[in-house]
Structure 1
């Protein structure tokens, strides 16, 4: 093994560990929290996590084994099974991301009719399509014996060497596979998320107008409170853009090098650097490790569930209950004090800060669905 193979092996090992832990946590949160199970997007996230987890225990370890031993991981039949899983799971995960983007688009653009447009039955039908779509391409590649160990990627996947006899058929199949998975998903994500971003910016403008009207009414508001409200405006304008950029950016960065390498491999007269092939495969694997954080674990409900599970595992439930009682008592005392103080005209600045905060919270409902 040279230095590049050692780095690639360590990278894949890290991806396996992060992917296993993060996707298992997502599955545990889904099983533990009934509120998450009631949400339609949770079904797409569950399917995505299942595909990522299965890829972490099947394809990634064999790629690591191929890099370490520089040999064929198992027999031909075993490698075809792993190649079938590689094509199926990658295609399924991409289509799940497209389904998630459509769900977010409906939730933000049509919030009042979301529950009538997107139901659990519709989500199950969408997932059934992703499975059938992925199964068809994987079955065709298996039946045509186009799956095998590809030294360029050090993994069991579509193998151009085995498909040389097929000629144009394999080229058409590979191009169709990536057009109907990667390119289709990218187009759907760009269209839907840009629509979502447009609506989010419109909501931010409304919030800014209402906030400025509130600040005009509170003519004697303290400068620090005014500055805080203006900073809140800026933060809300940037939040939607960052989320959309994360959704689309991680997909493009992780999958584009691998897909381009696949297409170039079909038409390139000379060999491709194997280090680049392994690196592009590592980037594709890294999507399985980043998906739990992009789509679920950084959201409030998942973070809250993880916190509850951690406290339960550490046997801190009694400590939490006592602290909750103390907080409730302190909150009751604070409310009583604020009610008493608010009667006196000279101390109106804290109440104006609360009004400014509540205006944001009341008008920011749709943006939180991102």
Structure 2
């Protein structure tokens, strides 16, 4: 192994650890807090967490094995199963992010009609489409033997070694990424930009009310006035920062890999083998980012994590003080 392969191997190990721990924490919060389970976005987050966890325990370790050993992990049948999972889970993850953006768009743009427009039944139907979409493309690729070990990515993924079906594979690859990555990206942009527009409109109304109040309060201290103006600025930036995070992480993690897969369809264009693995690692890193982007940085999840930690610490302190307390009780008659 050269230096680049060692660095990439360490990177994959770090991604596996962070992804496993963060997604497990999200799952624990979902099971612990009934309020999270009642909310419709919780179903989308649960589906996204399920995909990330399965990807972490199934595909990432095999990519690490392929990277270290520079050989295919397992036989053809095993690699076909892993390739099916890779296609299914990555597709399902992208569509789950699009579903979350639609949910937030409805919640912000139609707040009074949100509970009638987005019920648990509607969320189940949306998730049903994501699963049907993912299973369809994965099944087609598996039935045509378009999954296998790809040395460029050190993974069992979409791959066509036969020249006879090259045209069909090219058409399938283009349609697959068009109806998965580009469709999800368009949905993310349209919904979140509408959310940002509404958020800025509300911020502008709040700013007008705040400025009118500051004008009326002639005797207000300059420091208080300055804090109000700074809060206005932070409020405007907060919405833009969140939207940029949602769309930016999606593009940063998935776009390099998708572009590489499209460029790969042209044999005349050479691709650096290290870059292929880097682009694959970027897609894996999305599984480690999602718990923070969509769940753990939210107040409800942070509060749930604090409650779980406090409960564990309280229980451990009670267990630690238990034997000493019993010893003290039994020693009282002896002292008398």
Tell whether 2:123 aligns with 1:123: yes
Matches within 5 A, 1:268-347: 268-315=267-314
C-alpha displacement of 1:111: 0.6
- CA distance in structure 2 between the partners assigned to 1:18 and 1:33 by the alignment: 22
Contact residue 145 and residue 160 of structure 2 kept, 8 A: no
Tell whether 2:230 aligns with 1:234: no
C-alpha displacement of 1:213: 1.5
Partner of 1:61: 61
C-alpha displacement of 1:174: 0.4
- Mean CA deviation greater in 267-276 or 236-245: 267-276
Q: Deviations over 1:31-73 (max 9, x none)?
A: 0001101110110010001000000000000000001111110
- CA distance in structure 1 between the partners assigned to 2:150 and 2:247 by the alignment: 29
Tell whether 2:108 aligns with 1:112: no
Q: Which runs of 5+ in 1 are unaligned?
A: 320-370
Number of aligned residues:
318
C-alpha displacement of 1:125: 0.3
Name the SS of the counterpart of 1:315 in structure 2. helix
Name the SS of the counterpart of 1:87 in structure 2. helix
TM-score (norm 1): 0.84
Off by >3 Å, runs of 4+ in structure 1: 316-319
- CA distance in structure 2 between the partners assigned to 1:317 and 1:216 by the alignment: 55
Partner of 2:266: 267
C-alpha displacement of 1:164: 2.5
Tell whether 2:218 aligns with 1:224: no
Contact residue 249 and residue 286 of structure 2 kept, 8 A: yes
C-alpha displacement of 1:283: 0.4
Contact residue 67 and residue 154 of structure 2 kept, 8 A: yes
- CA distance in structure 2 between the partners assigned to 1:58 and 1:240 by the alignment: 36
C-alpha displacement of 1:160: 2.9
Partner of 2:210: 211
Tell whether 2:2 aligns with 1:8: no
Cα RMSD after superposing both structures? 1.3
- CA distance in structure 1 between the partners assigned to 2:77 and 2:310 by the alignment: 46
Partner of 1:29: 29
Q: Which runs of 5+ in 2 are unaligned?
A: 319-336
Tell whether 2:152 aligns with 1:152: yes
Partner of 1:171: 170
Partner of 1:72: 72
Partner of 2:52: 52
- CA distance in structure 2 between the partners assigned to 1:102 and 1:23 by the alignment: 22
Name the SS of the counterpart of 1:6 in structure 2. helix
C-alpha displacement of 1:316: 6.5
- CA distance in structure 2 between the partners assigned to 1:285 and 1:11 by the alignment: 10
Contact residue 160 and residue 266 of structure 1 kept, 8 A: no
Contact residue 311 and residue 317 of structure 1 kept, 8 A: no
Name the SS of the counterpart of 1:156 in structure 2. strand
TM-score (norm 2): 0.93
Partner of 2:38: 38
- CA distance in structure 1 between the partners assigned to 2:175 and 2:293 by the alignment: 28
Contact residue 160 and residue 166 of structure 2 kept, 8 A: no
Q: Deviations over 1:72-96 (max 9, x none)?
A: 1000000000000000000000000
